């Protein structure tokens, strides 16, 4: 029997992670054991073989970040597919003489907040209201011109990226207010921000939507290298195995930092020495140890100014337990006890956080987007259950993204 539990813990701020490239730890299985290297290898070998077949890619070198929910799309998209694949896997994408290269080095995390806010500013009040009440499709919202950078920054994994490529136009986007409080931590005195559990729209499973591609096909660079280094039809190797194969093919020795030697790479096709050396400079390097440029961020005052005009369209007094959106937008201050009088369930939450009834809290407001192509995707490899059948772990495809500002 196959059991299919659903994990509903969706990623509220996935794209905001400051995780460093290459640092993605192996995803734990539900019993806490790390996913095996064999699981990682077989998932990527199959996934990238399928993608290369669909996209007609002759040669690829792809640095593998860890286990990933994989899926493939049915049509050839070219450039849009590669951009989404790179963002979903937290890699930087390059084309070297037609070889599709994905490396950890040179990847930087985009902050979706300013991009989502730019989108928000283009919407008229009616559209905001509709998005907050019944939702809109991405196709309706972007009129076919939804920003590629924004979309790819919202994609958490390859399986979700595949859905967005094929069904993106029909994916539902929703909006709601995100009520929060700020308070001084009783122990450290540091300001803590906490979201109130008043979201009306928690992740849930909705029926899958039909195909509606958002991007048209844009061709990749044609393959212009042919050489003695032949990786065949696609396989996963360690970086040291890849280098050893190149050393033998070219009768040349290459430096390899031993700390990177066990990095997994998917390799496919063949290439000459000059091409390999350009590819290896990308996938054989680590992220350079330099100052990280400040990411574009959303200024909180700018967000509050927008909310002052639109908060009423985004929420109902039921969602706010009788409070007014203006209380949050203006940053009203009150005691935790007074706030809990609007929703008694908050008392337990405050007690767990060590807040007394007299602790002063400041009301704050953000906006939450949801993006939902419907259905579920596998979050982990199937877990064998006593050698009979197995357990599949699915997550809702409804993703949530918070706009909070700094």
- Contacts to another protein by CB under 8 A: 18-24, 104-105, 252-257, 259-260, 263, 277, 280-281, 283-292, 294
Q: How far apart are CA 62 and CA 54, in angstroms?
A: 16
Task: Give least dist CB 87 to another protein, A.
Answer: 18
Spell out the SS3 assignment of 312-342: HHHCCCCCCCCCCHHHHHCCCEEEHHHHHCC
Task: Give least dist CB 65 to another protein, A.
Answer: 9
Task: Give least dist CB 254 to another protein, A.
Answer: 6
C-alpha closest to that of 109 among 149, 153, 150: 153
Nearer to another protein, 109 or 217 (CB): 109
Strands of the 235-238 sheet, one edge to the other: 92-96, 99-103, 60-63, 264-268, 235-238
Nearer to another protein, 105 or 346 (CB): 105
Task: Give least dist CB 24 to another protein, A.
Answer: 7
Nearer to another protein, 36 or 252 (CB): 252
Nearer to another protein, 74 or 259 (CB): 259
Nearer to another protein, 85 or 239 (CB): 239
Task: Give least dist CB 250 to another protein, A.
Answer: 9
Residues with Cβ within 8 Å of 379's Cβ and at least 6 positions away in sequence, in order, are 7, 27, 69, 393, 394, 395
Q: How far apart are CA 139 and CA 343, in angstroms?
A: 38
Task: Give least dist CB 163 to another protein, A.
Answer: 27
Tell the burial category of 11 from Cβ atoms under 10 Å away from its Cβ (0-12, 13-18, 19+): middle
Written as one string, the DSSP assignment of 104-139 is: STT--PPPHHHHHHHHHHHS-HHHHHHHHHT-EEHH
Nearer to another protein, 51 or 260 (CB): 260
Q: Say how many C-beta atoms besides its own lie within 10 A of residue 288's C-beta.
A: 7
């Amino acid at each position: 029997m196959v059991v299919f539990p659903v994990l509903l813990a969706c990623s509220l701020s996935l794209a905001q992670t400051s995780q460093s490239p290459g640092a993605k730890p192996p995803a734990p299985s539900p019993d806490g054991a790390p996913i095996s290297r064999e699981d990682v290898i077989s998932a990527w070998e199959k996934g990238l073989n399928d993608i290369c077949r669909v996209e007609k890619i002759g040669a690829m070198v792809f640095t593998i970040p860890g286990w990933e929910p994989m899926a493939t799309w049915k049509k050839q998209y070219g450039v849009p597919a590669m951009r989404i694949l790179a963002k979903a896997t937290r890699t930087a994408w390059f084309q070297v003489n037609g070889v599709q290269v994905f490396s950890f080095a040179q990847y930087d995390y985009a902050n979706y907040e300013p991009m989502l806010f730019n989108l928000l500013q283009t919407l008229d009040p009616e559209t905001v209201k509709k998005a907050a009440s019944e939702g809109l499709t991405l196709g309706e919202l972007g009129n076919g011109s939804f920003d590629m950078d924004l979309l790819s920054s919202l994609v958490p994994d390859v399986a979700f990226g595949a859905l967005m490529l094929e069904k993106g136009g029909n994916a539902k986007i929703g909006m709601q207010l995100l009520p929060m409080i700020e308070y001084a931590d009783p122990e450290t005195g540091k300001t803590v921000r906490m979201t109130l559990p008043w979201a009306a729209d928690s992740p849930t499973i909705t029926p899958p939507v039909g195909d509606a591609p958002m991007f048209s096909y844009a061709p990749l660079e044609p393959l212009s290298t042919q050489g003695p280094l032949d990786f065949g039809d696609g396989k996963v190797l360690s970086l040291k195995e890849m280098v050893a194969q190149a050393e033998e093919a070219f009768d040349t020795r290459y430096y390899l930092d031993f700390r990177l030697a066990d990095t997994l790479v998917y390799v496919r096709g063949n290439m000459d020495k000059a091409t390999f050396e350009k590819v290896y400079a990308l996938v054989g390097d680590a992220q350079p140890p330099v100052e990280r440029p400040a990411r574009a961020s959303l200024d909180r005052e700018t967000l509050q100014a927008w909310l002052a005009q639109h908060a009423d369209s985004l929420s109902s007094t039921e969602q706010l337990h009788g409070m007014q959106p203006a209380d949050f937008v203006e940053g009203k201050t009150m005691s935790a006890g007074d706030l809990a009088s609007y929703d008694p369930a908050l008392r337990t939450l405050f007690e767990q956080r060590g807040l007394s009834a007299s602790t002063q809290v400041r009301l704050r407001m953000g906006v939450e987007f949801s993006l939902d192509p419907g259905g579920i995707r596998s979050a982990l490899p199937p877990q064998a259950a006593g050698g009979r059948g197995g357990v599949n772990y699915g997550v809702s495809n409804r993703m949530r993204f918070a706009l909070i500002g700094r």
